Amino acid sequence: MLLAPEDIQFLAGWRNGRAAAYRRVRRAVAYPAYEFDAEPSSERVFADIALIELQHPVRNTTIIPFVTGERPLVGDNVGVVSYAHDRSEAPSMQDTCDVMSAQPSVLVMSCSVDFGSSGSPVFSFHDDQPRIVSVVSSKAKSGGQPVSLGAPLETQIDTIRALMNNGVGFTEGTVFRPFRAQKDARKETGAKFIRPRE
């Protein structure tokens, strides 16, 4: 079922059935080239980015947004924080993994992700400051080895913010398929707590 933005709930710091802050969403905007039913490709991964605008800011001082960083290089260590299907009640960082390929439209990483990790942030740890450098789009295999595919964040966020500044936003019935949080419902989705710092 397709949901309107006002039916999406943002759960900041979700852990063990509780969140540090709950917010409704004013609008959601995807990268304009994204097509939900497109064939798998590096271009589809590149476009698999969306931003949400909350109805009200999160002013809880325990919720600190992460900054975004430049795309990692081949061989760099990164880490994925996710609420995958087998750990949907608390986020966890899997062991750090490596960037295997940094193509213009997709990052191929040795991170072995699972269902529910889509949308999870990929962190780099240069200068001891975690920065979001990619977002998991899907899992795949490369030479028989499980890998994850991530969207680099070089231009998409600026493009989406420009669209937001021009008043663009999803309406009910579009291709955006967000998760609707319901009371006492088991959360089987990806990231629930990351938002770019203004």
The count of structural domains within the chain is 1
pLDDT digits (tens, 9 = 90+) for 10-43: 888 877 788 888 898 888 888 999 888 888 889 9
Residues of the chain with confidence (pLDDT) below 70: 1-3, 83-95, 115-116, 170-198
Query: Would you say residue 120 lies in a domain?
Result: yes
Q: 137: domain range?
A: 77-152
Output the pLDDT for position 100.
94
Query: Would you say residue 185 lies in a domain?
Result: no
pTM more than 0.85: no
- In three-state form (DSSP H/G/I as H, E/B as E, the rest C), the secondary structure along 48-117 is CCEEEEECCCCCCCCCCCECECCCCCCCCEEEEEECCHHHCCCCEECCCEEEEEECCCCEEECCCCCCCC
Query: Would you say residue 165 lies in a domain?
Result: no
Work out the angle at residue 21's Cα, subtended by the Cα atoms of residues 198 and 95, and round it to the nearest 5 degrees: 75
Query: Would you say residue 62 lies in a domain?
Result: no
Q: What is the CATH number of the domain that holds 119?
A: 2.40.10.10
